[in-house]
Chain A
Amino acid sequence: MTLLPTKFGPYGGQFVPETLMPALIELEEAFVSAKADAAFQAEFNKLMASFVGRPTPLTYAKRLSEKLGGAQIYLKREDLAHTGAHKINNALGQALLVKRMGKQRVVAETGAGQHGVASATAAALLGLECVVYMGEVDIARQEPNVFRMKLLGAEVRPVSSGTKTLKDAINEAIRDWVTNVNDTHYLLGSALGPHPYPTIVREFQSVIGTEARNQMMMDAGRLPDTVIACVGGGSNAIGVFSGFVDDEQVELIGVEAGGSGIESGKHAARFGDPSKGRIGVIHGTRTYVLQDEDGQIAETHSVSAGLDYAAVGPEHALLRDLERAFYTSATDKEALSAFHELCHTEGIIPALESSHAVAEVIKRAPTMRKDQVILVNLSGRGDKDLNTVMKEMGNL
């Protein structure tokens, strides 16, 4: 009945109130027709180049590679995209779809604030009204991004319900969307939510993988042995993975937020903690969800707001089942240490989210040969995290 498959194996689907079903169908139609429309693609590509600054560079991390003494490390520099993270790719893509559907208003959720900033930016560029829902806890720890969104003309609405983080911001964004669905689009920022969002977000983020694959071939003359990305909802990971998923020899590694450690119970490792991470339905999709025995969604913890979420994108759940991708986790401590390492060794301040991927590089590279190659997706820059890091350093 739908134009595209709604599921990834047993995962995904459209678990939403009937009120929203017609909007999802309309969105799917707009997406399918846009994909086939050369003019839409040209407009998207033009904005990617002239506004976002794509292609983002591939940087050979010479000193880090030497220091770790194993695999050669390459960084895909999404931190250099306009607004400072990969989120802008999807935000602009969806904002163009909004224009195509004739809607005037977007609502978005944000955790770290990167998707909120990207949405506010896309809305300002294309003349759309933008409301961003953000948990009060996240507002406190990502203050610079809150001000950034306001400067860009967006309204930031604090969310005080539930755990006051990303999960609750998504609830509020969906409630707004249900109420205003006739003129409002929900600009969902991760590879999550009901179909067609996981597919749309992957599609707009696939530019990361496509570029990275070409750049690896140009710069290193070969494919990487391993691709590593952090996984909150999983949009940057699915974007970079999509460029290599058909290259079976390339190992794909997703890194979840290990928080204070899996055994502490304070984390966001959906795959990493079988006692709480089970298949369930949240925010319109069936996937691995951190929950209690009664199916109530669990509280999560991570030093990085962008990974602090109870569910993982449904396509990741399938890639894991198929053993096409493997998932591990990095703790807050490991991520902070990787953050400092990259600052000192490469002159790059990474986002705390991306620092989780770097932490895995630090563990893995020394175990690999010098003629092997790791590609890590540096999904965002760390300017937004300075307050958090300063606080953590004070605690050390």
Chain B
Amino acid sequence: MNRIEIAFKNKPIFMPYFPLGYPDLDTSIDVIEALAKNGADLIEVGLSFSDPLADGPVIQHATQIALEKGITVKKSLAAVKELRRRGVDIPLILMGYYNPMLAYGLEKFVRDAKEAGADGFIIPDLPMEESDEFVGLSHDSPLPLIPMLAPTSSPERMEMIARKAKGFVYLVSVTGITGERKSLSEGLGELIAQVREHTSAPVCVGFGIGTPEQAREVGEMADGVIVGTACVRTIGGSKSPVETAREFARSFREMLK
């Protein structure tokens, strides 16, 4: 059983996102460790890109700072290794845009990511149509490319994408970019049900979830709750990010029980 399968044994799971290098590299490693040891079941570890076109202002700002402070793909992978060394044993999924991976060298990236201890990839600008090259590379490496679905996905696309899903399905709950929303999108339950028709893989919901209450509501329908912007804003804006990360993880974990 791999780390992702183990994580989904107790559903719904809590999946925060945090970018490496923000507010600086050392703090981000400490923050991710704190999230992992205080209730996060899986962490989306963010790789920064200069042009994050699926992200709202909060994540744009954070990844911009990370880049200004000198984060690179290489340093990010070394940070994953460091997290493993510190005993973080939950799945760490690398989330980033395609170009820095291309620049690093896809084959080398996939190999080094595995070696560092990553468990999979989320690449928002790599839809099904373009993913063969990437997926083909990880033939001898079992790390999954997590497929994304959106409210705009047609039933045909949902079937095609969900059918092949490995790891879990990332269901984007709103038509839009990352960022907290006042209320959950209507018809979310229906959307989740549609996805489940085509796959037995866990279905996790992200984009727009900002409070533990919203997380609980989503957790009643989905197998996992992804919290990105709220996590970055709350922890990044704090004077003691590591302490805040602990509290943040606990508050969401508590509500998802």
Chain A residues within CB distance 8 Å of chain B: 1-2, 6, 13-23, 161-162, 167-168, 171, 174-175, 178-182, 278-284, 289, 291, 293-297
**Is B240 interfacial (CB 8 A cutoff)?**
no
**Is B49 interfacial (CB 8 A cutoff)?**
yes
| Cα–Cα, bound, A294→B127 (Å) | 22
12 A-B pairs with C-beta separation under 8 A: A1-B129, A14-B130, A15-B127, A16-B127, A17-B53, A19-B54, A21-B153, A22-B154, A278-B103, A279-B102, A294-B103, A295-B73
Across the interface, name the chain B residue whose C-beta is closest to A13. B130
Most B CB within 10 A of own CB, among A21, A162, A179, A280 = A21
Interchain CB contact under 8 A, B126 and A15:
yes
Q: Give chain A residues whose Cβ lies under 8 Å from the Cβ of B152.
A: 18-23, 181-182
Across the interface, name the chain A residue whose C-beta is closest to B174. A179
Task: Please pick, from A2, A162, A179, the residue contacting B51 in the complex, using a CB distance under 8 A.
Answer: A162
Task: Please pick, from B153, B175, B177, the residue contacting A182 in the complex, using a CB distance under 8 A.
Answer: B175
Task: Please pick, from A6, A15, A167, A179, the residue contacting B125 in the complex, using a CB distance under 8 A.
Answer: A15
Interchain CB contact under 8 A, B99 and A282:
yes
Which range contains the number of B residues in contact with the other chain? 35 or more
Q: Give chain A residues whose Cβ lies under 8 Å from the Cβ of B64.
A: 161-162
Q: Give chain A residues whose Cβ lies under 8 Å from the Cβ of B57.
A: 161
| Cα–Cα, bound, A278→B100 (Å) | 12
Interchain CB contact under 8 A, B73 and A18:
no
Interchain CB contact under 8 A, B130 and A18:
no
A181 to chain B: closest CB distance in Å? Answer: 6
Task: Please pick, from A17, A171, A174, A282, the residue contacting B127 in the complex, using a CB distance under 8 A.
Answer: A17
**Is B244 interfacial (CB 8 A cutoff)?**
no
Per-residue contact bits, chain B 155-184, to A (CB 8 Å; 1 contact, 0 not): 001000100000000001001110000000
B6 to chain A: closest CB distance in Å? Answer: 27
Across the interface, name the chain B residue whose C-beta is closest to A174. B53
B179 to chain A: closest CB distance in Å? Answer: 10
| Cα–Cα, bound, A175→B125 (Å) | 13
Q: Give chain A residues whose Cβ lies under 8 Å from the Cβ of B150.
A: 17-19
Interchain CB contact under 8 A, A291 and B99:
yes
Q: Give chain B residues whose Cβ lies under 8 Å from the Cβ of A291.
A: 99, 103
Across the interface, name the chain A residue whose C-beta is closest to B149. A18
Q: Give chain A residues whose Cβ lies under 8 Å from the Cβ of B176.
A: 19, 178-179
Most B CB within 10 A of own CB, among A19, A178, A284 = A19
- 8 smallest A-B Cβ distances: which pairs? A295-B103, A295-B100, A179-B176, A19-B150, A296-B50, A295-B99, A294-B72, A297-B50
A310 to chain B: closest CB distance in Å? Answer: 9
Interface of A is mostly: mixed
Interchain CB contact under 8 A, B102 and A281:
yes
Across the interface, name the chain B residue whose C-beta is closest to A172. B53
Interchain CB contact under 8 A, B175 and A179:
yes
> A22-B157, A171-B51 are known contacts. Are A280 and B129 too (CB-CB below 8 A)?
no
Task: Please pick, from B56, B67, B125, the residue contacting A17 in the complex, using a CB distance under 8 A.
Answer: B125
Per-residue contact bits, chain B 97-113, to A (CB 8 Å; 1 contact, 0 not): 01111111000000000
Q: Give chain B residues whose Cβ lies under 8 Å from the Cβ of A20.
A: 152
A247 to chain B: closest CB distance in Å? Answer: 34
| Cα–Cα, bound, A23→B127 (Å) | 13
Across the interface, name the chain B residue whose C-beta is closest to A161. B60
**Is B124 interfacial (CB 8 A cutoff)?**
yes
Q: Give chain B residues whose Cβ lies under 8 Å from the Cβ of A167.
A: 51
Interchain CB contact under 8 A, B127 and A280:
no
Across the interface, name the chain B residue whose C-beta is closest to A294. B72
A368 to chain B: closest CB distance in Å? Answer: 40
> A171-B51, A178-B54 are known contacts. Are A18 and B172 too (CB-CB below 8 A)?
yes
Q: Give chain A residues whose Cβ lies under 8 Å from the Cβ of B175.
A: 19, 178-182
A198 to chain B: closest CB distance in Å? Answer: 15
Across the interface, name the chain A residue whose C-beta is closest to B148. A18
Across the interface, name the chain B residue whose C-beta is closest to A21. B127
Interchain CB contact under 8 A, A295 and B104:
yes
Interchain CB contact under 8 A, B51 and A297:
yes
Q: Give chain A residues whose Cβ lies under 8 Å from the Cβ of B67.
A: 296
If A21-B128, A175-B54 are given as contacts, then 12 extra A-B residue pairs at C-beta distance below 8 Å, sorted by A number, are: A13-B130, A15-B98, A15-B127, A16-B125, A17-B148, A19-B152, A161-B64, A171-B53, A178-B176, A289-B99, A296-B100, A297-B51
Q: Which of B117-164 contact A (CB under 8 A)?
A: 124-130, 148-154, 157, 161
Interchain CB contact under 8 A, B177 and A178:
yes
A107 to chain B: closest CB distance in Å? Answer: 13
Interchain CB contact under 8 A, A294 and B172:
no
Task: Please pick, from B52, B98, B127, B177, the residue contacting A18 in the complex, using a CB distance under 8 A.
Answer: B127
| Cα–Cα, bound, A297→B99 (Å) | 9
| Cα–Cα, bound, A182→B185 (Å) | 15
Q: Give chain B residues whose Cβ lies under 8 Å from the Cβ of A281.
A: 98-99, 102, 125
> A17-B150, A281-B98 are known contacts. Are A294 and B51 too (CB-CB below 8 A)?
no
Most A CB within 10 A of own CB, among B50, B54, B104, B177 = B50
Q: Give chain B residues whose Cβ lies under 8 Å from the Cβ of A180.
A: 175
Q: Which of B21-80 contact A (CB under 8 A)?
A: 49-54, 56-57, 60, 64, 67, 72-74
Q: Give chain A residues whose Cβ lies under 8 Å from the Cβ of B73.
A: 294-295
| Cα–Cα, bound, A14→B50 (Å) | 19
Most B CB within 10 A of own CB, among A1, A2, A179, A296 = A296
Task: Please pick, from A13, A179, A284, A289, the residue contacting B177 in the complex, using a CB distance under 8 A.
Answer: A179
Interchain CB contact under 8 A, A296 and B49:
yes
| Cα–Cα, bound, A258→B67 (Å) | 27
| Cα–Cα, bound, A214→B149 (Å) | 48
Interchain CB contact under 8 A, A162 and B125:
no
Task: Please pick, from B103, B125, B148, the residue contacting A293 in the complex, using a CB distance under 8 A.
Answer: B103
Task: Please pick, from A162, A168, A280, the residue contacting B102 in the complex, using a CB distance under 8 A.
Answer: A280
Across the interface, name the chain A residue whose C-beta is closest to B160. A1
